[in-house]
Amino acid sequence: MAYGEALILQRGVARARISGVFDEDLLLLVEHPPVVTLGRSSKDKHLLASPALLASRGVDLHEVERGGDVTFHGPGQLVGYPIVDLKRHKQDLHWFLRRVEEALIKAIVPLGLVGDRSAGFTGVWTGGRKLASIGVHARDWVTWHGFALNVTTDLTYFDLMVPCGIAEVQMTSIAKELGRADDSAGNLGRLVRSEVVDAFADVFSLEAAVLDPSDLMRVAATTQSA
């Protein structure tokens, strides 16, 4: 799904969660065409490519309301948007960020990877290399935006920026760490998606159930604009 379409969708779902039209938390999982997003803390110097260069490589550019700096989304990446009402959990965004990190750390254990945190930064690392980026926004204690987990991502896209504003950070992917360059059948992607769903349900003490995307889009589209 194109990033702009997904942004409209998650904002609509968040409004529906705030209003009570959706009475349970949701996790939207998508894959985007190449796009660079600039969060509220973005610095101009952290985007190393001009808009013209990005366009020449087929990369969209969006400024958004999430926290954090500049990052990349694209093919081979599992992007998750947790629409969570923190009034049902804990009204603390820092707590929420640590829970998202914990879910991703749990999700990669069955794959044979050990995830950890880096002091002073948000995200998930493995072996000192950054595997997942996280940036969120909230209104009335309902969250949107979320995480980007590199599965089979082309990591050269990160050369267009200082990822998340962290100098000299080394980005990695699950496929790279496992030495599985070929995922043409999509088996690794499906496995990661399944583990992420289970881990989020566990960390947030929820039961996972799949919604029909068309129903989700229909309800989100009928909510009034914020």
Domain ranges of the chain: 3-205
| DSSP-assigned letter for residue 152 | S
- Catalytic residue check, 165: no
Query: Which among 107, 134, 142, 164 is annotated as catalytic?
Result: 164
Give the distance, in angstroms, between the CA of residue 20 and the centroid of all CA atoms in the same chain. Answer: 24
Nearest Cα neighbor of 32 from 69, 66, 65, 79 is 79
Q: pLDDT class for 224, splitting at 50, 70, 90? A: low
Task: Tokens 């948000």: give the residue.
Answer: 122
pLDDT of residue 185: 66
pLDDT in tens, 16-44: 999 999 999 999 999 999 999 999 999 99
Domain at 3-205: CATH code: 3.30.930.10
b/e sequence 47-86, b meaning 16+ C-beta within 10 Å: bebeeeebeeeebbeeebebbbbbbbbbebbbbbbbbbbb
Q: pLDDT class for 93, splitting at 50, 70, 90? A: very high
Beta bridge partners of 28: 81
Side-chain-facing half-sphere of 15: CA atoms under 13 Å: 15
Q: What is the pTM of this model?
A: 0.94
